[in-house]
Amino acid sequence: MNHKIPPNIIERPELRDHVRVFRNRQHAGEVLAEMLSSYSKTDAIVLAIPAGGVPVAAVIAERLRIPLDVAVVSKITLPWNTEAGYGAVAFDETMRLNEALVEHLGLTEEQIQQGIAQTTQKVLRRAKRFRGDRSFPDLTKRRAILVDDGLASGFTLLVAAEALRKAGAQHICVAIPTGHASSLPRMADEVEALYCANIRSGFSFAVADAYEEWTDVTEEEAIAIYKRLAGNE
């Protein structure tokens, strides 16, 4: 199926519909940094979604010589499958449910509220571990580059972008190594620009398929990377 790509999506056409295009997350960050060269040494700030987005974002921030910070957001997972989500909660408690999926799954109100509460606790705990007592950066007069290691449904990134708007962001750029063609237009509608090096279509899509080396990033690994670079304003 051919998906129409909106004009505010920037891709690497030669990588379209290919798999194993990045050696690892660091290499993906290098590719995106080249695509984002116009942001180099500007007032922009890179905001990583932990944990997998942090290694990608760290390379972008270093290459472009702009600060790194985090936008903590987590999907609300199913009671019987912690890999699948039906919504997401962001660092400021912005929450959105995938209403169609909730209805399809037949989740009870009690299950939904319990999932929201558990995810909110997780997000606030994780934000505290990353940021400590540091206040969230002022985004009212700077461009925000929101980074994750890939986009499947895009729900987590949508909630993150909504939270950044509430934090005052006027210009949001999403930067992702890989994304599904059917999900990208919806994300592009919510931001000023979307950079996706490897756009893929097809019935089956896994973020991991874009990478030769793929392992889960632990919270501890992500925090170590963040603390090495954070605050370089």
Q: What percent of the chain has pLDDT over 90?
A: 79
The reply to whether 199 falls in a domain is yes
Clarify whether residues 97 and 193 are in a common domain.
no
156, amino acid identity: T
pLDDT at 1 over 80: no
Tell me the residue range of the domain where 100 lies: 76-129
Clarify whether residues 193 and 108 are in a common domain.
no
Clarify whether residues 168 and 59 are in a common domain.
yes
Secondary structure in 3-state letters for the chain: CCCCCCCCEEECHHHCCCCCCECCHHHHHHHHHHHCHHHCCCCCEEEECCCCHHHHHHHHHHHHCCCEEECCEEEEEECCEEEEEEEEEECCCCEEECHHHHHHHCCCHHHHHHHHHHHHHHHHHHHHHHHCCCCCCCCCCCCEEEECCCECCCHHHHHHHHHHHHCCCCCEEEEEEEEECCCHHHHHCCCCEEEEEEEECCCCCCHHHHECCCCCCCHHHHHHHHHHHCCCC
Confidence of residue 49 (pLDDT cuts 50, 70, 90): very high
The reply to whether 165 falls in a domain is yes
Query: Tell me, what's the pLDDT at 2?
Result: 55
Rounded to a whole number, what is the distance in angstroms from the first to the last CA of the chain? 44
To the nearest 10°, report the CA torsion of 15, 16, 17, 22.
30
Q: Residue 215 is part of a domain; what is its CATH number?
A: 3.40.50.2020
Q: What is the pLDDT of residues 142-186, one digit of tens each?
A: 999 999 999 998 889 999 999 999 999 999 999 999 999 999 999
Q: What is the pLDDT of residues 62-87, one digit of tens each?
A: 999 999 999 999 999 887 776 778 89
For residues 117-127, give the mean pLDDT: 95
Clarify whether residues 65 and 153 are in a common domain.
yes
How much is the mean pLDDT over the chain?
92
For residues 189-211, give the mean pLDDT: 95
pTM of the model: 0.92
Clarify whether residues 98 and 68 are in a common domain.
no
2, amino acid identity: N
Clarify whether residues 145 and 55 are in a common domain.
yes
pLDDT at 11 over 80: yes
For residues 209-224, give the mean pLDDT: 95
Number of domains in the chain: 2
The reply to whether 203 falls in a domain is yes
The reply to whether 1 falls in a domain is no
Q: How far is CA 158 from CA 24, 97, 224, in A?
A: 24, 11, 26
For residues 185-190, give the mean pLDDT: 95
